[in-house]
Amino acid sequence: MTGRPTARHCRSRAALAWAAALFVFVQLVGGALLDSRWQAVRFPSAALIMAQLKSKQRPVDIVCLGSSRFMHGLREEDLEQVMHQLTGRPVSVLNAAVPSGEQVSSLYMLDQLLQREVKPAIVVVEVSPESLNHCNSWLRVHVQRQLGWRDIPQYWSDICFAGQISKLAQSRFMPLFIHRREICRDGYDLLNAFIDRLNRWKPAASTQIRNIIVDDLTERLQMAHLTPLEGTQQGVSQVLHWLRNYQVGGTAAACLERLVQRCEQQGIRVVLIAPPVTELHRQTYTPEINTAYLAYLRRFAEDHHCPLVDYRDRLPDKLFLDNHHLLAEGSECFSRILASEVLTP
C-alpha cells in the first residue's frame, strides 16, 4: 500500500516547484531586459552598426539595408569614393546590412536609425526571390534576435507556417540560455573593465581577483566568445529550401511595404536592388518563380515610384566566394557599378 507523502517528500516537491518558478521568473525577467535594454546581446551585428554610426564624421547620406550579400558586396569606402569623384562633393554611406537579413530585419534596422534621427537621402534595399517568399526561412533567426513579445501576434501565422514555434518558445522562455555566448562575452568584457578600474584603486586586490577568478574562467569564456554570425548557408540546396512552396507575400512583403511607407513619410528615396549571384544560384529560380517575383516587384516599384535594378546576372562567377557572396574584387566591382549607374544619377 502507498502511504501518505511524508513531510520530507512534501518539502522536496515544494523545493522543486519553487526552483521551477524561480527559473521561469529569472528567464522572463532576463528576456524582458534583453528585449528592452541589451541589443548587443540579442542582436550583436545591429549593435555594431549603431556603434559604427557614432564614428561617422558627417550626416549619413545613403543607407544600405539587406543581408550578408550586401555586407560582402557593398563597401562604404568604394561607394563614397566613386560618388565623390562623380559629384564633386563628399558623400557619407552607412552599410546597415546584417547577417541573415531580409525585409523583416531591414525594417528593424531602418526603425533603429530613424529613432537615432538618421535621415539619409537614399535607402538602398536588397531584394531577392527567396527573401520575398511567403514561407520565411529567416524567421528562425528573427525570433531570437529582434522579435519581442509585442511582435508575436503580428508574426504568429508566419512563424507557424515556417515551423519555428519551437525556436520562438526557446527564445521567449529560455532567452538567457539561447544568448549565453553573448552574455559570457559581455560578462568577460565587464569583468576585465572592473579589474582594470580596481587595479588603479588597489593593485594588490586586483591581482588577487585576477588570479582567483579570471585565470580559472578565461579559457571557458574565450571558448564561449561570440564568433562572427554566419550569413547564409553555402550551397544551392539551401537556396532550394528558401524557395520551397514559392509565393510572394507573408511577413517579408508586408515589411517591405511598411519600410517604403516609412521612407516616404520621411522624404527618403528608396532604391530596390537585386544583388549579383552565381549562375548556379540563378538556375534555382524557375520560370514560375522568376515571373511571380518580377511581376510583384515591378508593380510595387511602379506604385511607390522607386527604381528597381536587377543585378543578379551582372558579375561573372569568378568574383564570388560561394554561390551568393562576393570576393573582395567582386565587392569593389559591384560597389562601383551601383555608385556610378544608380546612386549618382
pLDDT in tens, 206-218: 344 334 333 443 3
Instruction: Check whether residue 251 and residue 234 sit in a common domain.
Output: no
Count of structural domains within the chain: 2
On average, the pLDDT of the chain sits at 79
Q: Is residue 10 part of a domain?
A: no
Residue ending a domain, among 222, 242, 262, is 242
Residue 319 is part of a domain; what is its CATH number?
Answer: 3.40.50.1110
Which of 31-45, 51-65, 303-317 has the weakest average pLDDT? 31-45
Q: Is residue 5 part of a domain?
A: no
Instruction: Check whether residue 67 and residue 197 sit in a common domain.
Output: no
User: What does the pLDDT read at residue 119?
Assistant: 94
Instruction: Check whether residue 255 and residue 234 sit in a common domain.
Output: no
Residue ending a domain, among 197, 220, 242, is 242
**Who wins on pLDDT, 15 or 314?**
314
Instruction: Check whether residue 313 and residue 225 sit in a common domain.
Output: no
Q: Is residue 331 part of a domain?
A: yes
Instruction: Check whether residue 229 and residue 295 sit in a common domain.
Output: no
Residue 190 has pLDDT above 50, yes or no: no
User: What does the pLDDT read at residue 40?
Assistant: 67
User: What does the pLDDT read at residue 1?
Assistant: 47
Query: pTM of the prediction?
Result: 0.75
Instruction: Check whether residue 121 and residue 257 sit in a common domain.
Output: yes
Instruction: Check whether residue 187 and residue 232 sit in a common domain.
Output: yes
Q: Is residue 183 part of a domain?
A: yes
Q: Is residue 237 part of a domain?
A: yes
Share of the chain above pLDDT 70, in %: 72
Instruction: Check whether residue 82 and residue 129 sit in a common domain.
Output: yes
User: What does the pLDDT read at residue 170?
Assistant: 72
Q: Is residue 329 part of a domain?
A: yes
Instruction: Check whether residue 184 and residue 121 sit in a common domain.
Output: no
Q: SS3 string of the chain?
A: CCCCCCHHHHHHHHHHHHHHHHHHHHHHHHHHHHHHCCHHHHCHHHHHHHHHHHCCCCCCCEEEECCHHHHHHCCHHHHHHHHHHHHCCCCCEEECCCCCCCHHHHHHHHHHHHHCCCCCCEEEEECCCHHHECCCCCHHHHHHHCCCHHHHHHHHHHHHHCCCHHHHHHHHHCHHHHCHHHHHHHHHHHHHHHHHHHHHHCHHHHHHHHHHHHHHHHHHHHHCCCCCCCCCCCCHHHHHHHCCCCCECHHHHHHHHHHHHHHHHHCCEEEEEECCCCHHHHCCCCHHHHHHHHHHHHHHHHHHCCCEEECCCCCCHHHECCCCCECHHHHHHHHHHHHHHHHCC
Q: Is residue 2 part of a domain?
A: no
Instruction: Check whether residue 298 and residue 331 sit in a common domain.
Output: yes
Q: Is residue 25 part of a domain?
A: no
Instruction: Check whether residue 208 and residue 129 sit in a common domain.
Output: no
Residue ending a domain, among 191, 219, 242, is 242
Instruction: Check whether residue 128 and residue 186 sit in a common domain.
Output: no
Domain span at residue 185? 179-242
User: What does the pLDDT read at residue 21?
Assistant: 64
